[in-house]
Amino acid sequence: MSGFSQRLHDLSQRVAAAAATAGRDSESIRILPVSKTHPVADLREALAAGVSEFGENKPQELATKAAELGANLDLCADRNEVSPRWVQIGNLQRNKAKLIVAYGAELQSLDSAKLAQTLNRLLDQAGRTLEVMIEVNTSGEDAKHGVAPEETLELARLVIDQPRLHLIGLMTVAAHIDRVGERGVFEMFSQLAGLREAVLGLPGGADCRELSMGMSGDFELAIAAGSTCVRVGSALFGPRDYAQKPVS
Ligand SMILES: *Cc1c(COP(=O)(O)O)cnc(C)c1O
């Protein structure tokens, strides 16, 4: 077993245990491996271990890796497809939107009406659609991206109206657990779950089923609060070295 396979196996067991504790089916929880800062060689090892998609934080890094490993633009991951799906999970500026239109299968960090409209126009030109989640700033921290909770429904309505965008869920990054405690983090995740119920009730909102929440340090709490997608980086790929430029 490769190092990655072993870590994926261990993580899957922890996800299954958290799901069992919450009385949930672990099949309903997707593990999104977050490969940011890690070199393409590590991603190849992950592909060999059966991974079919990667989450990346920076659009340029996503594009560079996708150009090298190939990109499956299909809306649903097909496990027989050799090219991985690429999922943008970090902030996306409008001038980088074309990179996601070229290589991304999914964007989890949609957080403004202008970005939604820009993407819709570029996707229309490319003749394709994109799965999106709205990122919500549930912690209220200035440094965090995402729309304010009270603006989520308004943005959801606008996204639903864009024919090239397919709204599949909501995403959040909670505050650090050591700052707000488990209870504070659980409340942020629960708030996202409540907002999803509201979006599901909108006309055209019925596909907004996913809750992307939980990372290496807090995914068990997120699963307890209803997460359907945990974004896991360091627990799968090891610690990140931000000083080092990713090598390919
Ligand atoms: C880096 C990142 C993750 C993964 O973080 P880990 O703590 O390494 O699991 C998840 N979500 C987002 C938005 C990230 O940028």
Over residues 124-150, the pLDDT tens digits come to: 999 999 999 999 999 999 989 999 999
The predicted-structure confidence for 80-102, as pLDDT tens digits, reads as follows 557 999 999 999 999 999 999 99
Which residue ranges make up each domain of the chain? 4-72+83-237
Looking at the DSSP bridge assignments, the partners of residue 132 are 107, 167
Name the residue at shortest CA distance from atom 10 of ligand 1: 231
Q: What is the mean pLDDT of the chain?
A: 94
pLDDT greater than 60 at residue 164: yes
Mean pLDDT, residues 106-124 taken together: 98
Mean pLDDT, residues 171-185 taken together: 95
Mean pLDDT, residues 42-46 taken together: 97
The predicted-structure confidence for 16-29, as pLDDT tens digits, reads as follows 999 999 999 999 99
> Does residue 216's CB lie within 6 angstroms of at least one atom of ligand 1?
yes
In the numeric block, which tokens belong to residue 225? 């609060």
> Does domain 4-72+83-237 match CATH 3.20.20.10?
yes
The per-residue pLDDT for 186 is: 97
The per-residue pLDDT for 151 is: 98
Per-residue pLDDT band for 69 (boundaries 50, 70, 90) equals very high
pLDDT greater than 50 at residue 248: no
Name the residue at shortest CA distance from atom 4 of ligand 1: 233
Q: Are 36 and 61 in contact (CB under 8 A)?
A: yes
Global pTM reads: 0.94
**Burial of residue 52 (number of CB atoms within 10 Å: 0-12, 13-18, 19+):** middle
Helix-, strand-, coil-residue percentages of the chain, each rounded to 5? 45, 15, 40
Secondary structure (3-state) at 126: helix
In the numeric block, which tokens belong to residue 176? 């650090």
User: Angle at CA 49, nearest 5°, toward 2 and 210?
Assistant: 130
- Percent of the chain exceeding pLDDT 70 equals 94
Report helix angle 152-160 to 113-126, nearest 10.
Answer: 20
Cα–Cα distance for residue pair 189/34, rounded to 1 Å: 19
Ligand 1 centroid distance, CA of 231 (Å): 6
Secondary structure (3-state) at 23: coil
> Does residue 215's CB lie within 6 angstroms of at least one atom of ligand 1?
yes
pLDDT greater than 70 at residue 79: no
Instruction: Using alpha carbons, select from 103, 89, 51, 43 the residue that is nearest to residue 210.
Output: 89
Cα separation values, 151 from 110, 137, 148, 185, 193, Å: 13, 10, 5, 20, 15
Q: Which atom of ligand 1 is nearest to the CA of 232?
A: 9
The per-residue pLDDT for 81 is: 57
